[in-house]
Structure formats: C-alpha cells, structure tokens
A = this chain, B = another copy of it.
Amino acid sequence: MTVTGRELRSTVTDDGTLRLTLEDVALEPPSADEVIVKVEAAPINPSDIGLLLGPANVSTLRASGTAERPAVGFEVPRERMATVRARLGQSLAVGNEGAGTVIASGENAKSLQNRRVGMLGGGMYADYRKLKARDVVPLPEGASAADGASMFVNPLTALGFVETARSEGHRGIVHTAAASNLGQMLQKICLKDGMPLVNIVRSDEQEKMLRGLAATHVLNSRSDGFRSQLVDALDETGATIAFDAIGGGSLGSDILQAMEQAASRRMTEYSRYGSNTFKQLYIYGALDLAPTVLNRLTFGFQWSVSGWLLFPFLQKAGGDVAARLRQRVVDELTTTFASHYTRTIGLAEALDPDVLRAYERKSTGEKYLIDPTRG
C-alpha cells in the first residue's frame, strides 16, 4: 500500500531565489530492511536552518501559496550564490533527525512494527519517512516522540566533543554558546565524566541556568572582566581545546589568546614563537556567518583551528565507539540527554512568516519542535 504525505522542500534557483514548499510525496511499501515511520516530532537545529534557508536574506521573505499548502520565497544575495552553486535547482528535503511510530515494516524489520523510534538521515520535516531499519533506534519504554526527537545530533555531538578532547590529549574543554541544549548536555556529561569545562555564555540569565546544572566555570563574554576571568579559568582547568558554535568574529581567536596567556604563566624563558602548549579550536557551527578573524600574533605558532562535524568524527572514531556513544544516549535519554523545546509547531506552520522569523533567530536556549500530526 502506498502512503502519501507532505514533505518540506528547499530549493535555490539560479535567479537568486530560495523557495520553501510542501510537496506531496508517495512512498512505496518498504523493502525487506526498511521501515516507514509516521513522523511525530522533529527538532529545528541550527544545522537544519543552514539547509532550510541557506544564505537567503530572511528580511526579503515573501509568502505565497495557501493556508494548507503555504510557500515562502527569499532573495539570496548575489555575493553568496557561490556558496550554493552545488545545490542549484535541487529540491532538497530538510530535517536531520526526528522520532515517530513505525507504521509499515519490511520482512527483516518486523520487530519494529508499531514501535516508537528515534531516527537519523535527513528529510524528517515530513508526514512520513521511509528509511533503513538500522537508521532507527527504538525508544525506551515510556519515552515520548519529543523525548526521542533529538537523540542523535546534539547528544552524539556533545559526547563527540569529550571523546575528541580525550583522544587528542587535552585536559579540559572550552565551549561557546554554552547555554544551548547541546551545551547543557555537555555540562552534564563533563560533570559525570570528570572533564573540566569552561562555559562561555552571553547573558546573566544563561549563566544562572548553567550554574543551576552545577557548572563550575561559567563566563559571560559580555561582562567587563571576561578576558582576565577566562585566563584564570583556563589556568585553573588546563583546558587547551575549545568547541565554538559561533564561528564568525574573533571570539575563537580570543580563546586561543587566553590559552596562550595561561600557558605563558608557566613559562620561564621567552620564545618569540610563543609557548609550547598546543591549542586547538574546533568550529562546529555558524551562528555568526561573518568571517573568522584570527589574531595569530597573540597566540604563537602551536595552534590549530579546524572544522568539526559529527559524521566525519563518527566515521573516524569507528563503529565500536559510535555504538558505545549511541547506547549511552538511549540509557540516559531522559536525564543527561533531555531536550527542552520552547514551542511545538505543525509542518505548515514552519512556513508561517512570523514563526519562521522566530526560529530563524537561533536564540540560544530557544528551540522549536515540528510535529506534523498537528497539521
């Protein structure tokens, strides 16, 4: 039996327009190793917004279509078209992860029938999603779709940071935009695992929230004493690796500088090449699309700034590590890895101009969940 449902699509055309639409898609019955899941919850992560809106200028939003089949269009600034050359003309499904109920299953996946599952693989902003059985994970008893909707990207990323820090020989971690859902998970993991963590946030409110999670080091980058407090915290923790969600501007560079200053407190002899302490900055997000500015002269030559992405990390770490991390997420789904959503919206609502502008703002701590069963 064919199942038909809506699917949210994002398309950039070569006239410099990005369009979001809801398309009707018919799914053929699953093959032996596949299942069809009725989507009940899918989070809007910053990484989803990247695919959804690309480099579009959100202030140029123009709504069209009907209430049931809304559509929105945006202009893509000419100078940013180069960054989307590879997706021109392709109608792309959106939504990295989600959760729902298995409504059809192939002969090798019958044990999943009627189970509530979390799933990973793109195209989750849809009524139905067909995928390989190995890309879904049954939720523990009593867990809601909302509980399981974000069980991959943020939990595995937070665990990945700690794995990366350990395997590269660092003794402590710095995290920016630390009040995010991901940041809260990272704080809980670090507490449990005894890994020192220096949280950088942008408001007193965020600081308070993290202190409520028993965080030791929480610094507000907008407060007066930020830079010297950061050096002190780095000196105390020995943190020499940072994960930065912001990307643009010079905060990452400031962190490297502070690490260098902390290291030079322990130096006895001057070297014009700076300290021997190796400092690593990983940029894993793009909350600020502006260029990254590195004031190299302030942090010597023993440093590296790199992109960090979940999937290459998992691939490099290998199957055993990935399986261990996934199991930990299932075990601690409603504790360490609990996600909080500011608002739940329907699939058509995701194309409502006011709603769209609100989730596009990417305010730290705010998070939207799409529940297609709401319409």
Q: Report how far A308 CA is from B87 CA in the complex, Å.
A: 35
Question: What residue in chain B is nearest A275 (Cβ atoms)?
Answer: B86
Quick check: A293 and B293 within 8 Å, CB to CB? yes
Is A286 close to B, CB under 8 A?
yes
> Distance (Å) between the CB of A304 and the closest chain B CB?
4
Q: Which of A31-39, A294-302, A345-353 contacts B (4 or more CB under 8 A)?
A: A294-302
Quick check: A312 and B86 within 8 Å, CB to CB? no
Quick check: A309 and B273 within 8 Å, CB to CB? yes
Contact of A298 (CB < 8 Å), options: B83, B272, B293, B295: B83
Quick check: A267 and B86 within 8 Å, CB to CB? yes
Q: Report how far A273 CA is from B267 CA in the complex, Å.
A: 40
Pick from A264, A296, A311 the residue with the most CB of B within 10 Å.
A296
Quick check: A87 and B247 within 8 Å, CB to CB? no
Chain B contacts for A90, CB-based, 8 A: 270
Quick check: A272 and B54 within 8 Å, CB to CB? yes
Quick check: B307 and A312 within 8 Å, CB to CB? no
Chain B contacts for A250, CB-based, 8 A: 291
Chain B contacts for A284, CB-based, 8 A: 301
Quick check: B304 and A295 within 8 Å, CB to CB? no
Quick check: A298 and B86 within 8 Å, CB to CB? no
Please tell me the size bucket of the interface on A: 35 or more
Chain B contacts for A54, CB-based, 8 A: 272
Pick from A51, A304, A307 the residue with the most CB of B within 10 Å.
A307
Is A253 close to B, CB under 8 A?
yes
Per assembly, the copies of the chain total 2
Question: What residue in chain B is nearest A281 (Cβ atoms)?
Answer: B305
Is A306 close to B, CB under 8 A?
yes
CB neighbors of B among A39-68 (8 A) = 50-51, 54-55
10 shortest interchain CB distances as A-B pairs: A301-B307, A304-B306, A292-B294, A87-B270, A301-B309, A51-B272, A86-B270, A305-B305, A291-B293, A291-B295
Which residues of A does B touch, CB under 8 Å? Answer: 50-51, 54-55, 80, 82-83, 85-87, 90, 92, 247, 250, 253, 264, 267, 270-273, 276, 283-284, 286, 289, 291-298, 300-309, 311-312
7 A–B contacts, CB within 8 A, in A order: A83-B298, A247-B296, A250-B291, A273-B311, A291-B293, A291-B294, A304-B305
Known contacts A87-B270, A293-B293; can you find 16 more A-B pairs with CB under 8 A?
A55-B297, A86-B271, A87-B272, A250-B291, A286-B296, A292-B293, A293-B294, A294-B294, A296-B307, A300-B307, A301-B307, A301-B308, A302-B309, A302-B312, A303-B307, A304-B305
